[in-house]
Structure 1
C-alpha cells in the first residue's frame, strides 16, 4: 500500500474549505511528477458516463436527509453528475455544506486561512523537519523559481496542501470543479437556502491542531515519492467516480487510521460527531422539508462515518444508486425500484 494515500485522502476527501481557499496555481509539481503527466493523460480515457454517486437517503417518519459524498477536486469531464444527484437536489428544500457558501466566499476567509496556516512565532518549518527533508524541499522549490524562505513560516499541512494543489492543477483537477462548489452555484441559481455544519475556524482548527509529527508524514511522503502522486490521485478519483465504497476505504480510510491516528480523529471522527446532532435535528425537528447535505466522501464511510452513525441511531438508511448492482451496495442487499421520481431503494427488515 502506497504511503502517499494519507496526504491525498485527508485533503481531497475531507477538508473542502482548505481547497476552496488556497489558490491552485500558487505551486507547481516537482520534475519527477511532471515526467508522469503525459503518460497518465494517455492512459486515462475521457469518461462518458456520470460518476456513480455516493448518495444515501436517511429517513424518519416526517422527512429525509440526503447525504452526498463529495470530492473536492474534479475535472470538467466529470460533469454532468448522476441523475440521482439531480433528483436529490430537486427534492431538497435546502442544501447544507461543511461550511456555508456565504462564509466561504467572504473576504475574511482567505485571511483567516493564512493566519491558521502560519507556525507560532519563533518556529520555522526548517526547524521542524530533518536536514534530508529540508534539502529535498529546497531543491523542489528552487526548480520552480522559489525558495525555502517563502514557506518557512508555514505549517507542514499547508505546504502539503499547496504542493498537492500544484500537482492536481497540472493534471486537470480544480477545486472550483469540486462537487460542493458545483452545488453551491446550483443552489444559488435555484434560490435554495444554504447553510453550513461548521465554521471555517472549526475546519481550520482541525487542520492546524493536528500533531506536527503527523503533518510531517504527509510532507515526507510527497517529497520522497513525487512520481507516485499522479497515480495515487488518479486511483482515488476513479474509485470515487465508480462509487466504490470498499475501494475508497481501502485506498484512504484504513491507512490514515493507522499512520496518522490523531489527525484521523480530529479531521474525521470528531467533526462527524459534532455534526451528528445537527443532522438528527434536521430529521427529528418539526419541519417536514427534505435536506441535501454535501460533505467530503470520507465523512460518510466506515464505522465512524455519518451513514453508519445514523443507521446505528435507528433511522432508515438507503443508498440511492440507480447505476449500482446488488453487490455494489454498502448495506445488505435491497431491491431497487424505479418510479416517476427516480430510483427508490427499499430497506430490508432489521
Structure 2
C-alpha cells in the first residue's frame, strides 16, 4: 500500500472504490479571472499537453507510452480492453515498479519501521498546540490515532493527509491501472522490468529537509470537502486525457486552498515537481532507450503527469530523435 500511495501522489486521482465512498465537484469551472490567467499561462506552449497513449518510433525502435492513474476506477475497463493487444504484443513491459518490487519495499518498511519514524522528536513537539490539534482531528478522521502518528516523519503524514477521510479505509492501489496492465503482461508471459530503483519515490520525500516536510504536512490540512473536490477535479482531467491541465490545476488549487502562505505552497509544489517528475523523467530516458535494444516493441506504463511538458517523457524522447504519434486511449 505505501509504495503505491507514494506513487499515486505524482498524479492524485480518484479510485473507483473511492468514487463509491466520496463525492466531489470538478473545480475547473470555478476558477476566478486571476486563477484562469495563471492556468492559461502555465499551459501556454506546453509540448504534448494531452493524450494518454502515444507511440514513439525511431527506425526499427517502437515504444508505446501509456499514461496511467495508479488507482482503480471502473471507467478504466474500456481503455484497458483497448490496450490489451498492445500490451500482449510487447516484447517488454516497463513500469514504475513491478509487483515484486512493491512487495519487497513493503516488506522492508514492515521490518524496519524506523524508515517512517522520527528518532529524535515528535510531531506535537514540532507543531504549535493549535496545529497539532488540527492535525490530530485530521488523522483521527482517517482512522489513524494521533498517538500512533506522533512519531511519523512529516512527509509521510502529508501522504496520509492527501487521501480524503471518505477514502481512508480503501485500498487505493487495488486494481489500479498499472496493476491491471501488469496482470495482462503476466498472463501473456511478457517480461517486466522497473523504470527505476524501487526506493526512488521514497527518497524523493524522505530527502527533504524537516522544515520542508513540515510545510508539506501543514499544506495538506485542507477541509475534507475540499480534499474530495481536488480528487474529483484531477480525475476529470485524467479521463479528459488533459494531463498537463490536471497538473497545472493542482498548482493553482494548492495556492487557493493551502493553509500555509501561497509562496510556501508554490515552493513546495515546485520542489515536488522537480523531484517527482522532472528528475525521474530524465532518469527514465536512458532506461527506455536501453530497453529498445533487442526488443522490437516496448510498452512503458507510468503516471500520466510524466507525459507532458518540455521536461516530460514525450518531449525528451523527441529530442532523442523519436517521432511521436498520439493513439486512441
Say yes or no: TM over 0.5.
yes
**How far did 1:59 drift?**
1.2
Question: Which of 271, 290, 295 is the equivalent residue of 2:297?
Answer: 290
Counterparts of 1:228-247 in structure 2, within 5 Å, are 228-247=226-245
Gaps of 5+ in 1: 1-8, 17-24, 30-36, 42-51, 323-350
1:259 equivalent to 2:267? Answer yes
Deviations 1:19-61 (A, max 9, x none): xxxxxx9xxx9xxxxxxx67549xxxxxxxxxx9611111111
Indicate the residue corresponding to 1:192 in structure 2.
190
**How far did 1:99 drift?**
1.6
Q: Classify the secondary structure of the residue corresponding to 2:95.
A: strand
Indicate the residue corresponding to 1:65 in structure 2.
63
Q: Classify the secondary structure of the residue corresponding to 2:160.
A: helix
With normalisation by structure 2, the TM-score equals 0.74
Q: Classify the secondary structure of the residue corresponding to 1:177.
A: coil
Q: Classify the secondary structure of the residue corresponding to 2:324.
A: strand
Contact in 2 for aligned 1:13/1:296 (Cα 8 Å): no
Indicate the residue corresponding to 2:157 in structure 1.
159
- Aligned mates of 1:306, 1:65 — CA distance in 2: 11
- Aligned mates of 1:275, 1:39 — CA distance in 2: 36
**How far did 1:307 drift?**
0.8
Gaps of 5+ in 2: 26-49, 255-264
**How far did 1:249 drift?**
3.3
CA RMSD, Structure 1 to Structure 2 (Å): 3.3
**How far did 1:11 drift?**
5.5
Shift in alpha-carbon separation, 1:271–1:152, aligned structure 2, 3 A = same
**How far did 1:168 drift?**
6.1
Q: What number of residue pairs does the alignment pair up? A: 283
With normalisation by structure 1, the TM-score equals 0.70
**How far did 1:86 drift?**
2.3
Q: Classify the secondary structure of the residue corresponding to 1:175.
A: coil
- Aligned mates of 2:189, 2:132 — CA distance in 1: 49
**How far did 1:13 drift?**
5.1
**How far did 1:210 drift?**
2.5
Indicate the residue corresponding to 1:54 in structure 2.
52
Q: Classify the secondary structure of the residue corresponding to 2:195.
A: strand
1:315 equivalent to 2:305? Answer no
Question: Which of 268, 275, 286 is the equivalent residue of 1:277?
Answer: 286
